Amino acid sequence: MAAQVIIAGIGFFATPLLLRWLGSQRFGSWMALSEWMGYLALFQMAVSGPILVLLLRARGAGDRSALSGLVHKGLWLYVAVVLITLPAGFWLVWRVPAVIPIAARYAGELRWAAAISLVPWLTVPLQIYRCVLEVEQRSYWNRFSLFLQSLVVTGLSLWLVWNGWGLLGLAVASAIGLTLGHVLTAYWGRASLPPRSASKPVTLSRLEFWRLGWPVTLAGLGNRLNLMTDNIVVAALLGPAAVAVFYVTQRLILFLGRMVNDLSNISWAGLSEMRAGGAPHAFSDRVVELSATVLGLGFVLLGSIAAFNRDFVSLWVGSSNYGGEALTWVTAAGGIVFAYLCFFASLLDTQGDARRRLPVSSMGSALNLLLSLALAWKFGLVGVALGTLIAYLASDVWNTPRLVSRLYGVSGVSLVRAALRATFWGLLWGGGVAWLVSRLPPSRHWLQLALNLSWVLSCGALYAWTLILSRRDRALWRERWGAWRQRSL
């Protein structure tokens, strides 16, 4: 978490400079290009999803030689993915000025930036070691590599853009940083495996791999439509300059939403181990507790930040770049809902049950795209975020908890009761903070904003501990805190 805060601080410093040096049109076109490039990762998901499930099974069985053999087999599968992906990337490079409307004088620059962005794909096979670190519950190395990657990308971006490289500078910095991240992940992941001589040959069943792979790939497509389409829609309907306003208005809320979502990402390995260990009651209680914690933390944290978002954006990049209160609050609501459903979706996917949620998730993704297009045309920027929120509520937010309850024996009544409790107290907190902040004078400087946020978040932490967490949850957290203190002494 400390690394994420440092990264956010660096981005906070860099964004106004890049926006000023590039202009809103080129800055927005780069954000849209990044989302287009993200769709190339769909090919990668066809391998990473099944490999992750198979690695989990091997680790659960204590067969480390099979674990190592799976990694070596998976490396060659990733190489095949790269060979399939690059032609699609070359097509995108050629067509990018058509899919991202930009002034003619910037079209060539944007095309070269897209071409440079393909370079890190040469090291994508090393991403298999990211799966190894997650399965080994050493995801802190993944986060550290992302931290170093972000430092390199941001530092080089500032230096190159300042020296007049424009979009090419952003692309070069991104390519170097991503390649470094891949190499570091491979270094740390390889160190956690037994020697290659100790690995045993592994035969992958094509039927089993297909059974695990196609649901994860289609679910990944749905996630891409949900997470990496908004800037594309804004650029296509409202122009690249509007992407800059959309981005800076959502930036702080989405960053903190990812921090809440990280609670889901670091929980699935432990929950999988608990379920495999034959502790169904403990597993069920833990799922209910964590789902309520994710939801309650989202309401308190994102609700508090949303109330001060206007002041933050105005001090950061100027009030002219603020997208409005409606966009702010709809984005916060979407972040809360997404963190909650991701907790259950991650658990389903890592247990090899992604196909179970696929019909409803696919419907939700298609609805998201259609609603975002229609509502953006009608309401502008807020329509894009509103389409995403409605699609979440109509699909995964109710379906993924239902599947976890049905497949893994988690009490559905307990899940609903915990969610309603967290939602009631969370909405009460968000409404109260919004009312209170609306009656405060605008923050005139950063110190005033920091002080206001500090006392609101401090009150929010006490509020969440007292009213959102149940008595049993508080007792469990006290036990964990005591155990952690004893281990640290």
Per-residue pLDDT tens over the stretch 90-145: 999 998 988 888 888 888 999 999 999 999 999 988 888 888 887 777 777 878 88
Query: Is the predicted pLDDT of residue 23 greater than 70, yes or no?
Result: yes
Structural tokens at position 271: 């929950």
**Distance from C-alpha of 405 to C-alpha of 412, rounded to nearest angstrom:** 5
Element (H, E) at 335: helix 325-350
Per-residue pLDDT tens over the stretch 379-425: 999 999 999 999 999 999 999 999 999 988 888 899 999 999 999 99
Q: Which residue has the higher pLDDT, 5 or 382?
A: 382
- At residue 489 the predicted structure's pLDDT band, cuts being 50, 70 and 90, is low
Query: Whole-model pTM?
Result: 0.76
Query: Is the predicted pLDDT of residue 249 greater than 60, yes or no?
Result: yes
Neighbours of 25 (CB within 10 A): 19
Q: Which of these, 97, 87, 237, lies nearest to 167 by C-alpha position?
A: 97
Could you tell me the CA-to-CA distances from 389 to 232, 334, 364, 397, 407 in Å, in that order?
A: 17, 5, 10, 10, 26
User: Beta strands of 354-406 (E only): which ranges?
Assistant: none
Q: What is the pLDDT of residue 225?
A: 66
**Distance from C-alpha of 329 to C-alpha of 295, rounded to nearest angstrom:** 16
Q: What is the pLDDT of residue 387?
A: 92
Main-chain dihedrals φ then ψ at residue 324, nearest 5 degrees: 110, 160
DSSP state letters, 39-66: TTHHHHHHHHHHHHHHHHHHHHTT-HHH
CA quadruple 431, 229, 49, 82: dihedral, nearest 10: -150
Query: Is the predicted pLDDT of residue 270 greater than 70, yes or no?
Result: no
What is the overall mean pLDDT for the chain?
84
273-297: average pLDDT: 80
**Distance from C-alpha of 328 to C-alpha of 306, rounded to nearest angstrom:** 6
Could you tell me the CA-to-CA distances from 407 to 26, 275, 280, 397 in Å, in that order?
A: 48, 12, 12, 17
Per-residue pLDDT tens over the stretch 82-105: 898 899 999 999 989 888 888 888
Q: Do 324 and 381 meet the contact criterion of CB atoms below 8 Å apart?
A: yes
